[in-house]
A and B are shown apart, each in its own frame.
Chain A
Amino acid sequence: DAEITQSPRHKITETGRQVTLACHQTWNHNNMFWYRQDLGHGLRLIHYSYGVQDTNKGEVSDGYSVSRSNTEDLPLTLESAASSQTSVYFCASSESGGPQETQYFGPGTRLLVL
C-alpha cells in the first residue's frame, strides 16, 4: 500500500548541530509539506513543495531548509539546531488538482534539542 513515512521517529540533538529529518511518500504526489506542532500553537507550516526543484517558505521557515530532488522525498534540514526548534514535526503530501486535495500526514518525528 502507498504510504508516507518519516524518520527518525525520535531524535535528540545538541544546540548548534545540523539535523535532517526525512520524509518519503509512495503515492507519487506532487505536493509535499512540513509542519511543526507545539502546545498552544497547533500545526504551523514550515516549508512546502509543489514538485521537483520547487520549494516555498511557510509561516515559520527561519532556521529550516528543504530540497526536492525527486518526487518521493522532501528532507527537512535544521541548519543549526536551537532549543526553540524542539517540537513534533509532521510531513504531508497531496495530489495536485485532485477532487479533494486531501493531505496525507506521516506519523511525525519528535525532536528534542538540548
Chain B
Amino acid sequence: DAKTTQPPSMDCAEGRAANLPCNHSTISGNEYVYWYRQIHSQGPQYIIHGLKNNETNEMASLIITEDRKSSTLILPHATLRDTAVYYCIVRVRGTASKLTFGTGTRLQVTL
C-alpha cells in the first residue's frame, strides 16, 4: 500500500468548510483513497473513498487530483462534533481488506 502524508493538525471555525489534505505521491493505478475519522475514545468511522473521480456523500466530499498524487477531504460545514483525527489511507481494493492507519490529522473545530 502506498504511503500517505498528512499535516498533524488543523483548525477550522464552526460553520466553515474544513479542507483536509493528503499526499500519496506513490499511489498505484489500482489503489483507492479511503478516509476514516476517529472521534475521541471511539472506534474509527468510515467517511468516504474514491479511485480517481471526485466523490460526495452525506458526510463529505473527496477531491482527487488528476494525477492522483494527492487528495482533499472537504467537510462543507464543520461542526464541533467534527472535531476528530482524520486518517487518509491508500490501498488496493479487494486484497486483504487490511487498513494501515498512519497518525492522521487532528482537526479542531472551534466556535
List chain A positions with a Cβ less than 8 A from chain B. 31, 33, 35, 40, 42-45, 48, 50, 58, 90, 92, 94, 96-97, 100-108
On whether the beta carbons of A101 and B43 are closer than 8 Å, the reply is: no
- Measured in the bound complex, the distance between the Cα atoms of B44 and A7 in whole Å is 17
Q: Is the interface of B mostly helix, strand, loop or mixed?
A: loop
Number of interface residues of B (CB under 8 A): 18
Question: Closest Cβ of chain A: how far from B83's Cβ, in Å?
Answer: 18
Question: Closest Cβ of chain A: how far from B54's Cβ, in Å?
Answer: 17
Cβ < 8 Å to A, chain B residues 44-95: 44-46, 49, 87, 93-94
**Interface Cβ pair total, 8 Å cutoff:** 51
10 nearest A-B residue pairs (beta carbon)? A105-B43, A43-B101, A102-B46, A42-B101, A105-B44, A31-B97, A90-B43, A101-B97, A42-B103, A94-B97
- Measured in the bound complex, the distance between the Cα atoms of B99 and A94 in whole Å is 11
On whether the beta carbons of A107 and B97 are closer than 8 Å, the reply is: no
A97-B94 contact given A43-B44, A105-B44, A108-B42, CB 8 Å threshold: yes
Question: Closest Cβ of chain B: how far from A7's Cβ, in Å?
Answer: 14
- Measured in the bound complex, the distance between the Cα atoms of B91 and A102 in whole Å is 12
